[in-house]
Amino acid sequence: MAILELDKVSKSFGAVKVIGDLSFQVPDHSVFGFIGKNGAGKTTTMKMILGFLQQDSGVIHVCGEKVSYGNTKANRNIGYLPDVPEFYGYMNPKEYLKLCGEITGLKKEIIQSRTKELLELVGLDGVNRRIHGFSRGMKQRLGIAQALLNEPKLLICDEPTSALDPMGRKEILDILSLAKNKTTILFSTHILSDVERICDRIGVLNQGKLVLEGDVSDIKHKYRKDTVRVEVGKSFQPEKAADGLRKLTAVTNVRTDNRIIEIQVHNAEDSGADILAFLLKEAVPVIRYEIMEPSLENVFLQVVV
Amino acid sequence: MVIFMRGFLAFTKKEFLEQLRTYKWLIFLAVFFLFGLMSPLLAKLTPDILSSMDMGGIQLNLPEPTVMDAYSQYFKNMTQMGVVVVLLVFGSILSNELIKGTLVNILAKGMSRTAVLLSKYTAAVILWSAGFLLSAATNYGYTVYLFKNASVPNLMFSMFCLWLFGCFIIALILLSSVAAAGSFGGLILSAVTLIILLMVNIFPKAEKFNPVTLVSKNTALLNGTNKAGDLYLTVAMTTTLIAVCIITAVLLFKKKQI
Amino acid sequence: MHSLSQLKEYLPFLIPLFLIQLGLMIAALVHIFRHKNYRIGNRVLWVILAVALNTIGPVLYFTIGRGED
C-alpha cells in the first residue's frame, strides 16, 4: 500500500511554475530519497503534503486520506522535521515533548514513556538544560524526537543533514536508519552520499518534474556505464595507447588527459581482460588501474543536466 | 471539538509558562504594582514638590489634594504608561513565533490555528487582568492610607472601562501581528492604529463609537461630568470590535503561509 | 521640622518602591550578564540603561532588548 500518493500536483508562485504535474508514490516501510538541486521544489512539495501550502491542481493522499489546505487533520499520520527546526528556547526537551504530546492528545503515561524512549534514541536523555543553549545538531535530534512522538506512519524530513557538520550528519543518518524500522520516511536532500547510505527508493526532482524514480539498486544498475581509469608513467604518451584501445570491441569511448586514460566499457569486469592484455602487449607503464563504480552522483548529473 | 479543546488547553499552558520564563510576568506585575503605589503618592506630594521649587518669588496657593486627585493621577498613569507597557509586553507574542518559525512543529502536529490565537488571547488577557487587579487593589489601599477615604462615584465602572480597553489593545495586537510582517510589525501597526483612534476623537461625533473614549472619560466619570450611561454605547462598540479583531485575525491567520 | 514623622508616614511607600526597583534592576542585570545576544543594542548599553533608568530601563530590556531564550 502507498503511504503517500501525489497525483498530477502543480503549483505556481506568480508566473513561476515550481511544480508541474508531479506524481509519485511512496510505498509502506520504505525510505524515499527526494533529490533535487536547491530550488527544485522539494520544500514546496513537502509543505503541500503537510497542508501548509495550497496546490493549484492535483490531489495528495496520505494514508488514503486526502490532504486539504489549512486543515491539518491528515497530519496526525505525519511526523515533520523542518530543515531548521525551531523550538521554545525556554523549555527543556522533556517539557517540549510534553507540549507536543498534549497537542496530539496522547495520554500522560504514553507521553512519559515515549519521551524517555525517544530521548534515548536521539541521545538527549539526561539533558535537562533549556533548549536555547542547544547546538544545531542537538536541535535536529530533538526535531526527530518530536516528529516521531505520535508514532507517525510517514516521517517527512526536509534536508535534515544539510546544515550539519560531518559528525552531526552521521548521527542523524544513524538515527534515521533506526527509525526506518518503525515508519516510512520521505527524506529530501541534495547530498547524494546520504541517499546512498539510507534510501531504498529515490525520486529526482528537476524543474518541478520527477525525472527519475525507482529503486536505488535498479537505478544504479540501469545507469551503469562503467569506466576504467588507467594512470600511466611519466615517460609514456597516453595518446599512443588510445587508438589501439578504441579498436577493442568492448570499448565505447576513450578519453585521455595528461597521464590518465579513461576507458568507457559496457561492463568493466568482463572486458577487463581485453584491456589488460592490450596494455601488456603494448608495454604501457601502468601506475594505477581502477574500475570506477557508478555513483548516484553520476546518475544525478546525467538526468538533471 | 475535543481535539480543539485539547490543543487550546495545552497551548494556553505553554503561553503561561512562556510569560513566566520570559519575565513578562515579572515586569507586568511589578510595573502595575508601582502604578498603584505611585499614583496616590504623587497626588499627595505634588503641592509639596511645587511649593518647594523656587518659582521666582511667586507664591503658589495650592489646595490640599483630595481623593479625586489621587484617582485622576492613577488613571493618567494607567492610560498612558500602562498602555505603553501592555503594548511592549504583548506586542510580539505572535510576531516572535512567526519570525522564528516555532509554530511550524506545532501546526504540523494538527494543532488548530484558531486554537493558537485564542490561547494567546486568553493567556494575555489573564495576565493583563492580574496586573490590572493588582494595581487597582494597591491603589485603593494606598489611597485609603493617605486620604482616609477612597469612595468616589462610578469607580467600578470607570475601572471596568480601563480593563476593557486593555482587552481591546490585546485583540488589536493579535490582528496587527497577523497582518504586518517583521518582529515589530504588529507592535508598530497597533501603536499607529491607537494613535489614529486618538486623533479621531477630535471629532465629537465619533467619540461615542471610539474605544479610546473608554480611557479618556475616567476622571469625568468620577467627578460626575459624565454619567455611566454615556459610555454604554462605547462599551458595546468596543466589545464588538474585540470580537471583530479576533475573528478577522483568525481568518487571516488561516490563510497565512507558515 | 516635621520631616521625620513625614518620612515615617511615607515608609509604606518607600520600602516597596525601593525593593521593586532594586529587584527589577538585579533581575535585568543578572539576565544581561548571563546572555550574550540581544535583539537590540549591546551589553554596555543595557547595563547603563538598567542601572540609570529605574523601572523603565529593566522594562525596556526585558521587552525589547532581551535576546532569544
Reported as a single tens digit per residue, the pLDDT across A267-291 is 767 777 888 888 888 888 888 888 7
Q: Name the residue in chain A with its Cα closest to that of C36.
A: A133
Evaluate whether residue A266 is within a structural domain.
Answer: yes
Give the nearest partner residue to B109 out of A95, A104, A143, using CB atoms.
Answer: A104
pLDDT per position as a tens digit, C20-66: 999 999 999 999 998 888 888 899 999 999 999 988 999 999 988 88
The answer to the question of residue A302 being in a domain is no
| A300: in domain | no
CB distance C31–B183 less than 8 Å?
no
Residues A204 and A96 in one domain: yes
**pLDDT per residue over A36-82, tens digit each?**
888 888 989 999 998 888 899 999 999 888 888 866 667 888 999 99
Last residue of a domain, one of A217, A233, A254: A217
Question: Which chain B residues touch C20 with a CB distance below 8 Å?
Answer: 30, 33-34
Q: Are residues A207 and A251 in the same domain?
A: no
Residue in B closest to A48 by C-alpha:
B257
- Domain assignment present for residue C14? The answer is no
In a domain, A66, yes or no: yes
Which alpha helices (H) appear in chain A, and where do they start and end?
42-49, 93-104, 108-121, 136-148, 166-179, 192-198, 216-222, 238-246, 268-281, 296-304
Does residue A63 fall inside a structural domain?
Answer: yes
> Over B39-103, what HEC string results?
HHHHHHHHHHHHHHCCCCCCCCCCCCCCHHHHHHHHHHHHHHHHHHHHHHHHCCCCHHHHHHCCH
Is the pLDDT assigned to residue A142 strictly greater than 50? yes
Distance from CA of A90 to the nearest CA of B (A): 6
Task: Please give the pLDDT value at position A305.
Answer: 66
C56 assigned to some structural domain: yes
In a shared domain, residues A28 and A149 = yes
Average pLDDT, chain A: 87
CB contact under 8 A, A52 and B109: no
Question: Residue B195's beta-bridge partner residues?
Answer: none
Q: Which of A152-166, A222-236, C13-27, C40-54 has the lowest mean pLDDT?
A: A222-236
- The pLDDT of residue C1: 45
Residue C17, in any domain of the structure: no
Judge if A43 and A164 occupy the same domain: yes
Considering only the beta carbons, identify the residue of B33, B37, B88 that sits closest to C64. B88
Query: Span A244-248, mean pLDDT?
Result: 83
Nearest to B254 among A70, A80, A103 (CB): A70
CATH code of A110's domain: 3.40.50.300
Does B49 contact chain A (CB < 8 Å)? no
> Are A211 and A175 in the same domain?
yes
Q: Which structural domain, as residue segments, surrounds residue A247?
A: 223-294
- From first to last of its 258 residues, what are the pLDDT tens digits of chain B? 788 899 999 999 999 999 999 999 999 999 999 999 999 998 888 887 777 776 666 666 677 888 999 999 999 999 999 999 999 999 989 999 999 999 999 998 888 899 999 999 999 999 999 999 999 999 999 999 988 877 888 999 999 999 999 999 999 999 999 999 888 899 999 999 999 999 999 888 888 899 999 999 998 998 888 899 889 999 999 999 999 999 999 999 988 877
* Residue A49 grid coordinates: 503534503
A100 with A244, same domain? Answer: no
A245: domain CATH number?
3.30.70.100
Residues in chain B with CB shorter than 8 Å from the CB of C13 are 37, 41, 142
Which range among A142-151, A160-169, B69-78, B240-249 shows the weakest confidence by mean pLDDT? Answer: A160-169
Report the number of distinct structural domains present in chain C.
1
Residue A286 lies in a domain: yes
Could you give the CA distance from residue B231 to residue B170 in angstroms, rounded to a whole number?
Answer: 21
CA distance A185 to A198: 10
Residues A212 and A235 in one domain: no
Phi, psi of B241 (to 5 degrees): -65, -35
Closest CA–CA distance from residue A126 to any residue of chain B (Å): 21
Q: Tell me, what's the pLDDT at B57?
A: 64
Most C CBs within 10 A among B25, B28, B34, hence the mutation to make, goes to B34
Find, in chain C, the residue whose alpha carbon is nearest to that of A131: C69
